[in-house]
Structure 1
Amino acid sequence: MGLLSKLLRQTATEPQPPNSSRRSDLLLNEFFDCHFYPYAEATRRRPAIVKYIYDKHLRPNLGQKRLCDLDSKMLDEWVRTHIRKRYKPGTINKHIFLVNRILNVAQNWGMIEHNAYKNCVIKRLPLGDYRQRFLSEGELRTLLDACYRDQHPFLYLFAKLLILTGARSSEARLARWRDFDFQSCIWTVPLSKSGRSRRIVLSSAAIAVLDDIKAQAERLYLPHTVNDYIFINPKFKKPYDSFHLAWDRARQRVGLRDVRIHDLRHTYASLLINKGASIYEVQRLLGHHHVSMTERYAHLMPNTLAERVEIVADILG
């Protein structure tokens, strides 16, 4: 009886396909709010992002249409409005993916006969080559100095932690003190981009930055117990939503407007590669699940292949 009761309770709390009795007049907004979003909460790691994209880019226009009225021409025109607004191709593709996902679920649940997106002319936009920006050592020092001189209480320490660890911005922004093992010099990210936990090896310099972060928290009378976030906004006493405004001030001040926060992670990898670290070592340090994600840095390896082919030649004398 205990197992049966558990299964019944689990079934009751899972998102259920909508009743098909109103499929003819169901608006997209209604389907999203009442059915798709509860499904996303149960299956997506960050459902709040799904809701943000929907509310901003679908709710005001497509959301007012009935599910059964959506056709490929209407969806293509919706994509063209995004292009006219000069959104980046990667951003538009995220919006397209969400629409396709919503309509797939609606079709699987019998709310529509077919997914109109399948007949669209604009399936997705070409992204071109993967954008990589590597900072030179001089640029890196200049940018860190600009962060140091900025009024933001944590920008410099945040940027320095990223370049010393190769961590993603969100991983550092949402880190808690309990995630750090100072004895083993290991930072455990409970949930990384891949959906798994990962371990970051900390250098002595990274440990020193964490000590500086704690000292700054003490100066600002911010909590820093094991369960607290390491970066807390002094005004709201909550973790920062982002560092982008402060970062933009710093990069513009030194004429590096094209440098993104994520480029610190690229630079971390490039510095390792250029100093002789192998692709597989960099893969482990970046937390890439597949080495193919790390191979984008392979071209940075200076003369490595030319040196390797001499190994056998040297053996043969």
Structure 2
Amino acid sequence: MFFSFKSYDETRSKHHRPQPCLTLSLFFDEHYFPHVKVAKKESKHDWSTFNTHLRASLGHYKLDELTNPVLDVWVREQVVAGYQRSTINKHIFLMNRLLNLARHWGHIQHNANQVNLRRLPLGDYKQRFLSPEEIERLLIHAHRSSHPHLYNFIRLLLLTGARKGEARTMRWLDINRDKKIWTVPVSKNGRSRRVVLSGAALEVLDDCRATAERLGLSIEAKAYVFTNPRTLQPYDSFYAAWYLVRSAAGLDDVRIHDLRHTYASLLVNKGVSIYEVQTLLGHSSVQMTQRYAHLSPDRLHSRAELVGKIVCSSGG
């Protein structure tokens, strides 16, 4: 079998031939979205963001018309409309991704008036940690919820620091009780990770099993721990029930992800090293963990006093 250099050159030339300039909507529908459905773990967020925030305002523009002056107006309009800067930055990220791929695939040429948009400055990273009293209040109201799984779901997140998506799609086969390990098959970074289960976390899983049996749900290995009794599939989200519970508990500013923050904060305030917290959270770098590592003022003051005692005890 011989390799034809001519056919290779013809194919290569065809691949790099300038493409007809598409509108942004046509490029998204026919090129970008089919690509991310295969390349990304979850593509529904891109679909939702584009259809809600890009299609109506920019979808009719041809790709080479989406210059920085046009896009800067689009960003300003979102600021004026009152969108949070973190939300606008998600829209900017998607727009940059679309244009970068359009250039990479030959749909548009590099243009000095079409460079990546800068993300808006956010200021200090927003963090929220629950105090022991707030945790107790939240759990009391979660226990009163009519949702069959919410109470155990919240407890599990507090006791493991897991992400809500990891817990939402947990299966019984992912849990090794003997080793006290929960294996997340695919985490946020695309790799598997192991979550250490405390005795309290294992008790929560026992309660989850009892709840499933009471509801007549499967507890076979492939079954989901938090199975929706109506669909027999994992829940799309717990938000509706969560909002009711946090409001009843007077914690309207608390997000589900703050349970993960709280887990890290409790560990650090008990003297657990940042590197151990990094491992428990499944972070790839310690810099990511430092955002979660909240130290209480009392603990910081006690550490500062250590130096004071040393200095003051040194003659003079």
Specify if TM > 0.5: yes
- Aligned-pair distance for 1:68? 2.4
SS at match of 1:238: coil
AA at the equivalent of 1:139? E
Identity among equivalent positions (%) equals: 51
Q: What is the aligned partner in structure 1 of residue 27 from structure 2?
A: 31
Q: What is the aligned partner in structure 1 of residue 156 from structure 2?
A: 161
Q: What is the aligned partner in structure 1 of residue 20 from structure 2?
A: 22
Give the Cα separation in 2 of the matches to 1:302 and 1:225.
48
Q: What is the aligned partner in structure 2 of residue 229 from structure 1?
A: 224
Q: TM-score, with normalisation over the residues of structure 2?
A: 0.86
AA at the equivalent of 1:118? V
Change in 2 beyond 3 A, CA 1:213/1:48:
same
Give the Cα separation in 2 of the matches to 1:244 and 1:98.
25
Q: What is the aligned partner in structure 2 of residue 270 from structure 1?
A: 265
Q: What is the aligned partner in structure 1 of residue 201 from structure 2?
A: 206
- Aligned-pair distance for 1:47? 2.2
Deviation sequence 1:200-254 (CA, Å, 0-9, x none): 1101111111111111111111122111111111122221111111111011112
- Aligned-pair distance for 1:146? 0.7
SS at match of 1:156: helix
- Aligned-pair distance for 1:130? 0.9
Give the Cα separation in 2 of the matches to 1:160 and 1:217.
16
Give the Cα separation in 1 of the matches to 2:56 and 2:199.
51
AA at the equivalent of 1:27? T
SS at match of 1:236: coil
- Aligned-pair distance for 1:80? 2.2
Q: 8 Å contact 2:268–2:295 — kept in the other structure?
A: no
- Aligned-pair distance for 1:108? 2.1
Q: What is the aligned partner in structure 2 of residue 73 from structure 1?
A: 69
- Aligned-pair distance for 1:17? 6.5
Runs of 5+ in structure 2 lacking a partner?
4-13
- Aligned-pair distance for 1:197? 1.2
SS at match of 1:36: helix
SS at match of 1:187: strand
Change in 2 beyond 3 A, CA 1:178/1:109:
same
Change in 2 beyond 3 A, CA 1:250/1:17:
farther
Runs of 5+ in structure 1 lacking a partner?
5-15
Deviation sequence 1:69-104 (CA, Å, 0-9, x none): 222222122222322332221111011011111111
Q: What is the aligned partner in structure 2 of residue 52 from structure 1?
A: 48
Q: 8 Å contact 2:265–2:294 — kept in the other structure?
A: no
Give the Cα separation in 2 of the matches to 1:80 and 1:261.
30
AA at the equivalent of 1:142? R
- Aligned-pair distance for 1:161? 0.5
Change in 2 beyond 3 A, CA 1:298/1:248:
closer
Q: What is the aligned partner in structure 2 of residue 106 from structure 1?
A: 102
Deviation sequence 1:269-306 (CA, Å, 0-9, x none): 11111122111111111111111122231644545754
Q: What is the aligned partner in structure 1 of residue 289 from structure 2?
A: 294
Change in 2 beyond 3 A, CA 1:63/1:287:
same
AA at the equivalent of 1:113? Q
Q: How many residues align?
A: 298
AA at the equivalent of 1:260? R
Residue among 257, 271, 288 paired with 2:252: 257
Q: 8 Å contact 2:174–2:184 — kept in the other structure?
A: yes
AA at the equivalent of 2:115? K
SS at match of 1:132: coil
Change in 2 beyond 3 A, CA 1:128/1:186:
same
Backbone CA RMSD of aligned residues: 2.6
- Aligned-pair distance for 1:167? 0.6
Q: What is the aligned partner in structure 2 of residue 9 from structure 1?
A: none
Q: 8 Å contact 2:96–2:116 — kept in the other structure?
A: no
Change in 2 beyond 3 A, CA 1:117/1:256:
farther
Q: What is the aligned partner in structure 2 of residue 11 from structure 1?
A: none
